[in-house]
Amino acid sequence: MTLRFRQTFTLFPGVRINIGKRGISTSIGGPGASVNIGRQGVRATVGAPGTGSSYSTLLVPVGKTPRAPAPQPDPEPESFTHPPVGNPAAGNNPASAKVYMPQAGMNEIASASVEVLTSSSLIPLRDLIAKAREQQSQVKSDLKEACDEEAKQQGELNRRETSLFRWFYKKRIAELEAALPVTRAEVERLANWDDNTKIAVTFEAGDAAQRAYSSMVRAFDSLKLSSKKWDVTADRSTNQFVERSLANRTIDRHPVIFEFSSTDLIQFSGRAMRFENINGDDILIYPGVAVIPRADGVFALIDIRELKIGIEGVRFHETEVVPSDAEVVGHTWAKTNKDGSPDRRFKENYQIPICLYGQIALRSQSGVTEEYLVSNAQSAHAFVETTQVYQKALDETTAP
């Protein structure tokens, strides 16, 4: 096999997400030259290092469609094959994702397509990350090819050097000894490019917002330990007379996991708070930004302040095993009369507990529609309350 040597790959810069009372702005680039994307448009800043002088100009005013500061493409036309963009987040992959269609008569509770969920101020950053991941996929492919070629050459060299007939292979041994350093240099070069195609993100916010975020993380640490968490995927109004029940709502729920996780979309020193979605589009909450990666590599970036996160205590008629941390606030009957007494027309009618659960709802104007049920209502309330405090702190403080 002949190793293909690509001439160049694009180096992607680090990104600073500045979270202040005027909204999220994204700074792409390093000292001397940067592009800032915010609510007022896209602004370029060029400075002369060491002089303290700089020039700033508005490239795209607000109201216009901003374009991502895209890197120069590889001059070779075959450089990008446009595969699906990147790998999914931990746990968010085709093998684990299941699609639960609502039963007849039930209303689906689901977000809009991931393609339309990104906040307008974060579209350029989303496009830059997508481009970086597209290139990273190609770099990884070339790196594997180079590593395989190195192993092949080294293996052949070892066999020929230790062969009883090595004197007959002097020419081939010389060729391999000359080729191996070149191949190893290509492996090292591609490994370096692999590191440089990951976009490192730094989140910057005021002190009050950072303290509020720390409280939010601690509250999530408690929330994830709740005995049961469910993704609510559909609901309907209960026909109380026909179903002989005092419940006014029937839901379709599925156990899920809340955990600290990450996605290879971005490099970040901390961990994201992951809300598993039973249909596959998990929600990962970073400082100021929620990331929703889909199994095919498409993803959305949402300003955390655009998420309306609500909490409600619900009295749930539990027909399954009562979670260990759930508060039982009463009892009812599997079949009840309107006054709550057991309907004695049903033989073997039995009593069921009423549990107080926390119902967390996430909504956004762009189309986020998710609902979770948590067995520990107290921890659910604490998490939502700290999240709301954090969102308010972002609106009241300015990033440094």
β-pairing verdict for 41-48 and 289-293:
unpaired
What's the mean per-residue pLDDT of the chain? 79
- Collapsing DSSP to helix, strand or coil, 125 comes out as helix
Q: CA distances (Å), 112 to each of 115, 301, 335, 361, in order?
A: 8, 14, 37, 15
For the beta carbon of residue 194, count every other beta carbon within 10 angstroms.
16
pLDDT at 6: 65
Judge whether 261 and 91 are in contact, CB under 8 Å: yes
Residue 183 has pLDDT above 90, yes or no: yes
Task: For residue 304, give both structure tokens.
Answer: 């955390």
Whether 28 maps to a domain, the answer reads no
Judge whether 37 and 66 are in contact, CB under 8 Å: yes
pLDDT at 47: 34
pLDDT at 41: 41
Residue 335 has pLDDT above 60, yes or no: yes
For the beta carbon of residue 196, count every other beta carbon within 10 angstroms.
18
Of 44-48, 153-157, 278-282, 394-398, which has the strongest mean pLDDT?
153-157
Residue 114 has pLDDT above 70, yes or no: yes
Whether 95 maps to a domain, the answer reads yes
Whether 345 maps to a domain, the answer reads yes
Tokens 């941390």, residue located: 325
Buried b (16+ CB within 10 A) or exposed e, 209-239: bbebbebbbebbeebbebebbbbbbbbeebe
Residue 29 has pLDDT above 70, yes or no: no
- Collapsing DSSP to helix, strand or coil, 324 comes out as coil
Measure CA 264 to chain center.
Answer: 9
Question: Quick one: what percent of the chain has pLDDT higher than 90?
Answer: 47
Whether 38 maps to a domain, the answer reads no
Residues 6+ apart with CB under 8 A from 333: 340, 341, 342, 343, 349, 350, 351, 352
- Collapsing DSSP to helix, strand or coil, 194 comes out as helix
User: At residue 83, what is the residue type?
Assistant: P
pLDDT at 158: 94
Residue 360 has pLDDT above 50, yes or no: yes
For range 171-180, the mean pLDDT: 93
Query: CA-to-CA distance for 28 and 129, rounded, in angstroms?
Result: 11
Domain of residue 106 covers 69-400
> When comparing pLDDT for 180 and 40, which is higher?
180
Residue 287 has pLDDT above 80, yes or no: yes
Domain count, the chain: 1
Full-model pTM:
0.73
Whether 52 maps to a domain, the answer reads no
For the beta carbon of residue 45, count every other beta carbon within 10 angstroms.
15
- The conformational region for residue 298 under phi > 0 = left, psi -120 to 50 = alpha, else beta, is beta
Task: For residue 372, give both structure tokens.
Answer: 């979770």
Judge whether 86 and 337 are in contact, CB under 8 Å: no
Residue 4 has pLDDT above 90, yes or no: no
For range 357-386, the mean pLDDT: 96
Residue 130 has pLDDT above 90, yes or no: no
Q: Angle 123-162/170-196 helices, nearest 10 degrees?
A: 160
HSE-up of 377 (CA within 13 Å, CB side)? 14
Whether 48 maps to a domain, the answer reads no
- Collapsing DSSP to helix, strand or coil, 49 comes out as coil
For the beta carbon of residue 183, count every other beta carbon within 10 angstroms.
20
Whether 205 maps to a domain, the answer reads yes
Whether 35 maps to a domain, the answer reads no
User: At residue 261, what is the residue type?
Assistant: S
Query: CA-to-CA distance for 140 and 186, rounded, in angstroms?
Result: 13
Ranking 75-79, 86-90, 155-159, 324-328 by mean pLDDT, the lowest is 75-79
Query: CA-to-CA distance for 82 and 73, rounded, in angstroms?
Result: 13
Q: 293: which strand partners?
A: 299
| pLDDT band at 84; cut points 50, 70, 90 | very low
